[in-house]
Amino acid sequence: MDGHALPVVETEQTEEHASVDDLLLWVLVWSELSAFGILLAGFLVVGVIQADAFAAARSHLNSLLAGIDTLVLLTSGWQAASAARPAASTPTRRRALVLAALFGFAFVVIKLFEYSTEVAVAGVPQFGAFFELYFLITGFHLLHVAFGSAVLLLVAWRPSPGNIALIATLWHVIDLVWIVMFPLVYLV
């Protein structure tokens, strides 16, 4: 009879640990969304105040590369979601996580190439705050993508369901931020 009581205690402790992990995950998700939300709100406010300068500066952005980056990042998110499927085998999960990371690193390379063409006009005084905010917001996102890609590779090495769920959720937050950022920065 004592042998049957032990798994119940372990299950209760595991459930308690899982609920704390879930809470921490959602605190992280909401803090990330809040930070990017504040940055994007600031970008929009300054864009209204300096509408002409923002329109002139925006014309120097490469919307085509940003669009390609969007497709690359969404493909990466699709791979992360594939890894999180409950029915996926361990080799399938590993492959999907590695592909998600590779697409994430491809996003970084494309974005750095895009930066190399934009840095020449970033110092033009008439563009004012546009490029300062542009590099702050997109650079902050770029750091998240680079770090997240490295974590995807780490999780691929030891793909436990909890770690996969954690990184897939965070990766989708990074995708969501870019999906909101892309039209606000490049198209509005």
At 165, list the tokens.
């769920």
Domain tally, the chain = 1
Q: How far apart are CA 96 and CA 159, in angstroms?
A: 11
Domain that holds residue 147: 2-187
Distance CA 36, CA 96 (A): 27
Q: What is the CATH number of the domain that holds 27?
A: 1.20.120.80
The answer to whether the Cα torsion of 97, 26, 146, 79 is positive or negative is positive
Tens of pLDDT, residue by residue, the chain (188 residues): 444 444 444 444 455 556 767 788 889 889 999 999 999 999 999 999 999 999 999 999 999 999 999 999 999 999 999 999 999 999 999 999 999 999 999 999 999 999 999 998 888 888 879 999 999 999 999 999 999 999 999 999 999 998 999 999 999 999 999 999 999 999 88
